[in-house]
Structure 1
Amino acid sequence: MTDNLEALQRALPYLLDGLLITLQLTVGGALLAFAIAISLGLLARFDNILIRGFARTVIEVFRGTSLLVQLFFLFFVLPLPPFNLELPSIVVGILGLGLNYGAYGAEVVRGSINAVPRGQWEATTALSLSRTQRMWRVIFPQAWALMIPSLTNLLIQLLKGTAVVYLITIVDFTAELNKLRIDTDVFFAYSLGLVVYFVIAYLLTLAMNAIEVRAKHRLGQGTRLREAVAAPTVDAEGNTP
C-alpha cells in the first residue's frame, strides 16, 4: 500500500492535468450538446418537411452511430481529401461529444415541448402571441422544467463518455490512470478512477438539481432553492415543522 501511495504522489500532477482535460471536455461538450439539442429539438417540430427532415436526419445519424467511430472519423478522416480539415484533438473531442449527446438531447427537448399541456398552447393562441413569443414566453419555460432530469442523465453519460476520448491521443484523466496502473496495481488505480468520476458526477447532479428547483419555482411549483437546500429543524419528538 505504501508503494501505491508513493506512486500516486509522483503521478498526482499528471493526474490533475488529466482531470483538467476531462473537465474541459465535459463542460465544452455539454455546452455544445445543449446548443445542438435546443436547435435540433425545435427544428424537428417545424411544419416545413425540409427543415424537419434535416433535423431528423442529423439526429438519427449521430444517435444511431457509435461515439467512438464518430471521434475516429473526425480525427482521422477529416484531415484527408476532400475534407482537408485538421482540428486540434481537444476540439475534436468536444465536437464529437457535443454532436453525439446533442442528438440524444434533441429528442429530450422535442418530447418535453410536446408534453406541455394542450391548454397552454390554446391559451397562447387566445392571447394572439406570435410563434416566437408563444414558445419562449410560455411553452419553453414549462418544457425546460420537464427536460432537466433527462438532461441531467445525459450530462452524466457525457462525463463518462470522455473516458474514450484518450483514444484520439488526448491525455485525459483516464489516460493518466492507465499510466498509474503500471506503477501501482489495477485495483488501486481504477478504484481511484471510480471515486473521482463518482464525485464529479455527484457534483454535476447537485448543480442540475438546483437548476431544476429554480426552474420549477419560477413556474410557481415547489419551493425556492434556498428553502430546498436548507436543513429542516427537528424538535425533541423528531417531528419537522
Structure 2
Amino acid sequence: MTSAIAELLPALRTGTLITLKLTVLATAAALLMSVLAALLRRSRWKAVRVLAAAYVETFRGTSLLVQLFWLYYAFPLLLDIRLPVLTVAVLALGLNYGAYGSEVVRSALEAVPKGQTEAAIALNMSPFQRLRRIIGPQALAIALPSLGNLQIELLKGTSLVSLITLGELTYQGMLLRTYDMSRTTLIFGLILLLYFLIAQLLLLVVRLLERRFPAGRVGA
C-alpha cells in the first residue's frame, strides 16, 4: 500500500498544485465580479442595473459545464481567439461564482444600517470613501461566512475543468486510473482526502478573516 501511494503521489501533487493555483485565481476573479456586479446593481442608472442583472441571471441560470465548453470550444470559433486552458477555467469559474457572490455582497451592503451612510455623508465623505472606510468593512463582515461557503463550492467546481484537459487534481486521478484500473479505489480515496484537506485550509483562512472583521462591529 505504501509503495503504491508513493507511486501515485508525484502526479497527484502536480494536480493539487494546479488545483490550488486555479482556486486562488478563480476566487480572486469571482470576488472582483461579485463586488463589481453588486455595486452596478445599486447604480442610479437603470441601464447599468439591467446589464448587471442580465449578467447575474445568465451565469446563475446556465450550467457551469456548458459555460466552460462554450469558452473553450465555441468562443474560439466565434471570434477566432483561442485562450489558454487555465485562462478559460479562471474566467468560467470567476464569472459563474461571481454571479452568485454578487447577491451575497449586495445583500450585505443593504444590511449595513442606513445611519452609517448618513453619518458618512454628514462628514462630507465621497462615495468611494464611504465604501472603503465605512460601508465596505461592515458589509465584508456580514458577507464573509457566505462567501466562504461559495469558495468551497468553487473548489469543488474546479474538478469540472478536467473535461477541458486542464491537468488539475481530478484530471491527474483519471489519468492514473487509465494506467492501472486496479488502483481505482486508492486513487479516488487519495483525491477525496486531498480535496478535503484543501477545503479545511480554505475554511481556516475564512475563519481568520472573520476574526479580523468581526460581524459584531456592524452598526457600532
CA contact (8 A) 1:181 1:188 kept: no
Counterparts of residues 36-47 of structure 1 (less than 5 Å): 36-47=33-44
In 2, Cα distance between equivalents of 1:10 and 1:194: 17
After superposition, give the CA deviation of every residue in 1:145-192 in whole Å (9 maximum; x if it has no partner): 111101100110010000010100111110111233342433222221
CA contact (8 A) 1:101 1:154 kept: yes
Counterparts of residues 21-100 of structure 1 (less than 5 Å): 21-81=18-78, 83-100=79-96
Kindly state the Cα deviation for residue 218 of structure 1 after the two structures are TM-superposed.
Answer: 9.9
Residue of structure 2 equivalent to 1:208:
206
Compare CA radii of gyration and give the structure with the larger one.
Answer: 1
Kindly state the Cα deviation for residue 193 of structure 1 after the two structures are TM-superposed.
Answer: 1.2
Counterparts of residues 1-241 of structure 1 (less than 5 Å): 2=1, 5-81=2-78, 83-182=79-178, 183=180, 184-216=182-214, 219=217
Kindly state the Cα deviation for residue 217 of structure 1 after the two structures are TM-superposed.
Answer: 8.4
CA contact (8 A) 2:138 2:215 kept: no
Q: Normalising to structure 1: TM-score of the pair?
A: 0.84
Which stretches in structure 2 are left out of the alignment for 5+ residues? none
> Compared with structure 1, are the counterparts of its residues 27 and 89 closer, same or farther at alpha carbon in structure 2 (3 Å cutoff)?
same
Higher relative contact order (CA 8 A, sep 6+): 2
After superposition, give the CA deviation of every residue in 1:48-73 in whole Å (9 maximum; x if it has no partner): 10111111111111111111000000
- The one-letter code of the counterpart of 1:69 is V
In 2, Cα distance between equivalents of 1:162 and 1:41: 24
SS at match of 1:114: helix
Q: Which shows bigger deviation, 176-185 or 160-169?
A: 176-185
SS at match of 1:79: helix
SS at match of 2:83: coil
Q: Which shows bigger deviation, 149-158 or 130-139?
A: 130-139
After superposition, give the CA deviation of every residue in 1:206-235 in whole Å (9 maximum; x if it has no partner): 1111011101289499xxxxxxxxxxxxxx
In 1, Cα distance between equivalents of 2:126 and 2:166: 47
Q: Which shows bigger deviation, 87-96 or 125-134?
A: 125-134
C-alpha RMSD over aligned residues: 1.9
Identity between Structure 1 and Structure 2 (%): 45
Q: Normalising to structure 2: TM-score of the pair?
A: 0.92
Deviating beyond 6 angstroms after TM superposition, the runs of 4 or more aligned structure 1 residues are none
In 2, Cα distance between equivalents of 1:199 and 1:169: 24
